[in-house]
């Protein structure tokens, strides 16, 4: 059986308090005991996984992400995207938000994955591990290093090495020894996301944030030496990208003009390119010929972790409120195209 390169999940968040207060009605529901979502009266979509308003962070992690973490340890690259309009629950789901203040059960994907990676490492004494993290933002097709703000975006370049691995030349990679260290780097990067602009929400909802953990393991296998005293070594390198995508909302809704309008177009072009890549990967006729990775920074950056032997999950986050009907329908169509 052929592996599905990209699995698509949809998560419908609950109505927020303020939406309940304003009497918003629910227009998106999960059909019980199916992997189907119904929006409005009769539009039905089917996905690999669907999660309704009472789904827990633990459930999302265990169903969608845990298998990717295990294959990361085995040496495969992995990517998880959160897609959706601003306010639909992307950051909540990915778990890249205010990490320190969050209670255990509410923790999102990143802290859970990090914990599991280090757990696996501690249980594997026959390998030596070297773990690194980086945190990059793509804003208006420019890269920014969230772990080293002094780095000018002109000094960051996406390259492909001779083995086909994507590298960001100039990006800071921090060597880490444990969960707490990773979490404080994540925190630091998040703070950096908000410093360069006065309108922080505007900025962060229009940029893609890519948090990457790279695992290099040297596996020691007893060799042919007397009494197993010689070892043969195998070097395994893999990485996991956690991507909090820019808000998918359309330009018209916010009535953007001028510079802001240009911004939205550029960001939507990144999401468009990503949609095209994912769709090509799922299409057996296109797969072998042309996957348009080069069309945007975000797809170039993720090239070695999207398709091929890499495992990818896209989580589309959706607001249930009828006031968001149009955006939710657009998000479901986008997700459907990725299948």
Look at residues 92, 47, 81, 85 and name the one whose alpha carbon lies nearest to residue 321: 85
Decide: 139 and 203 in contact? Cβ < 8 Å: yes
Q: Per CB under 5 A, does 248 bind Mg ion?
A: no
Toward Mg ion, which CB reaches closer, 146 or 281?
Answer: 146
Binding ligand ADP by CB under 6 A: which of 10, 313, 317, 335? 317
Spatial contact of 260 and 279, defined as CB atoms under 8 Å apart:
no
Q: Which residues pair with 44 in a beta bridge?
A: 38
Q: 90 or 172: whose CB is closer to Mg ion?
A: 90
Of 91 and 248, which has the nearer Cβ to Mg ion?
Answer: 91
Q: Please provide the distance, in angstroms rounded to a whole number, between the alpha carbons at the two ends of the chain.
A: 17
Planar angle of CA 185, 188, 191, nearest 5 degrees: 150
Give yes or no for residue 331 binding ligand ADP (CB under 6 A). no
Is residue 312 a contact point for Mg ion (CB under 5 A)? Answer: no
Taking alpha carbons only, the member of 241, 239, 282 closest to residue 4 is 282
SS3 string of 29-51? EEECCCCEEEECCCEEEECCEEE
14 binds ligand ADP (CB under 6 A): yes
Q: Where are the beta strands (DSSP E) in 170-287?
A: 174-176, 208-222, 231-244
Q: Show the site string, 57-96: x = touches Mg ion by CB under 5 A, - = not.
A: ---------------------------------xx-----
Q: What are phi and psi of 275, to 5 degrees?
A: -60, -40
Q: How many CA atoms lie within 13 A of 280 on its CB side?
A: 19
Closest separation between CB of residue 83 and ligand ADP, Å? 9
Chosen residue from 91, 190, 238, 331 binding ligand ADP by CB under 6 A: 91
Chain residues 136-195 in contact with Mg ion, contact rule CB under 5 A? none
Write down the least CB distance from residue 81 to Mg ion, Å: 13
The residue within the footprint of ligand ADP, chosen from 48, 61, 73, 88 (CB under 6 A), is 88
The neighbouring-strand residues paired with 282 are: none
Tokens of 249: 């909302």
Output 5 or 108, the one with its CB closest to Mg ion.
108
**Whose Cβ is closer to ligand ADP: residue 275's or residue 307's?**
275
For ligand ADP, the closer CB: 239 or 241: 241
Residues that bind Mg ion (CB under 5 A): 90-91
Residues that bind ligand ADP (CB under 6 A): 13-14, 16, 84, 86-92, 317
């Amino acid at each position: 059986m052929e592996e599905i390169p990209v699995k698509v999940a949809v998560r419908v968040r609950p109505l927020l308090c303020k939406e309940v207060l304003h009497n918003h009605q629910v227009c998106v529901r999960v059909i019980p005991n199916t992997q189907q979502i119904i929006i409005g009266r009769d539009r039905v979509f089917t996905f690999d996984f669907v999660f309704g308003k009472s789904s827990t962070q633990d459930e999302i992690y265990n169903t969608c992400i845990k298998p990717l973490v295990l294959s990361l340890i085995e040496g495969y690259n992995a990517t998880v995207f959160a897609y959706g309009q601003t306010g639909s629950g992307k950051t909540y789901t990915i778990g890249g938000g205010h990490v320190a203040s969050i209670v255990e059960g509410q923790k999102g994907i990143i802290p859970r994955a990090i914990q599991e990676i280090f757990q696996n490492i501690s249980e594997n004494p026959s390998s030596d591990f070297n773990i690194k993290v980086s945190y990059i933002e793509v804003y208006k097709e420019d890269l920014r290093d969230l772990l080293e703000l002094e780095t000018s975006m002109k000094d960051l370049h996406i390259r492909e090495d001779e083995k086909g691995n994507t590298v960001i030349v100039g990006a800071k990679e921090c060597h880490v020894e444990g969960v707490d260290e990773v979490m404080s780097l994540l925190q630091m990067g998040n703070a950096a996301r908000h410093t360069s602009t006065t309108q922080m929400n505007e900025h962060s909802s229009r940029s893609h944030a890519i948090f990457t953990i790279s695992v290099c393991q040297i596996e020691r296998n007893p060799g042919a030496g007397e009494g197993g005293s010689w070892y043969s070594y195998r070097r395994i390198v893999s990485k996991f990208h956690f991507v909090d995508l820019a808000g998918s909302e359309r330009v018209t809704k916010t009535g953007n003009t001028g510079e802001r309008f240009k911004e939205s177009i550029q960001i939507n072009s990144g999401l468009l390119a990503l949609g095209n890549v994912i769709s090509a990967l799922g299409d057996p006729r296109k797969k072998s010929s042309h996957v348009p990775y080069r069309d945007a920074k975000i797809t170039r950056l993720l090239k070695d972790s999207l398709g091929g032997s890499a495992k990818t999950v896209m989580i589309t986050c959706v607001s249930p409120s009828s006031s968001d009907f149009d955006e939710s329908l657009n998000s479901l169509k986008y997700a459907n195209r990725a299948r």
